Amino acid sequence: MNKDSIAVPIAIVVAALLIAAAIYFGGSNTPAAPTAPIAPGTPGEPVIKQVQEDDHLRGSPTAPIVIVEYSDFDCPYCNQFHQTMNKIMEEYGPSGKVAWVFRHFPIKSLHPNAPKIAEASECVAELGGNASFWKFNDLVFGSKTPQEFTDMTKLSGYASESGVADISVFEKCLSSGKYTNKINASIDEANKAGAKGTPYPIVMTGDQMAPLAGALPYADMKAMLDNLIAQMDGKAPAPQVQ
């Protein structure tokens, strides 16, 4: 079964496994409840960009299942979901069946420094490549409790630890505002994709996609992925929605 042939199963999986597991948090950081899967080109539906070559991807670029996440570096639920996705990739990444794409959706009204941290991550990506980008993300999220804001004085140190050789170049990149427009474009993109808060993850299989219910815990992510993988492998029927 190819990845384009599970359009109906992904709809059923999301409805059966994720709507019941939706997580609601207080405040503007909270995504709305999961919506129905989106067929490309449906009039009036959110516009979700397919994965591009310049996306920040962890895992195989040919993975049949891709989790696209719009995230904010100072969002506590993004921090929790980042740890969940690291576990997911440790389990499913080596098989090449699941990939993870990180896109920016800093909410400045809640986290004033988040846009600048996003710019810093792009400077790291420019100077150190994709592996350094992900290392930087892991350091930013992993260096604090979910409720803490990032210590901005540590960004240069994180960049160095991530593999950036010349920190003066990194600091010049960051102070120049070189990536401000790119971050703003990603925010616009997230809004068009229907994001109401962070994290805003979307599961994609082929040309079918469905927003998830925010910072789903590991067990719920695993249940969804196991079901999708079993269906792609022809080993399980799609669950029925009651």
- Sorted by where each starts, the structural domains of the chain and their CATH numbers stand as 3-44+54-232 (3.40.30.10)
Residue 233, pLDDT score = 82
Tell me the DSSP string of 40-68. Answer: TT-TTSPP-PPP-TTSEEES-TT-SEEEE
Q: State the pTM of this model.
A: 0.84
Q: Indicate the SS3 state at residue 98.
A: strand
Residue 236, pLDDT score = 63
CA distance 59 to 90: 10
| 38 secondary structure, DSSP code | B
Residue 89 near residue 59 (C-beta atoms within 8 A): yes
Below-70 pLDDT ranges, the chain: 1-46, 236-242
The tens digit of pLDDT for each residue in 197-221 reads 999 999 998 878 888 889 999 999 9
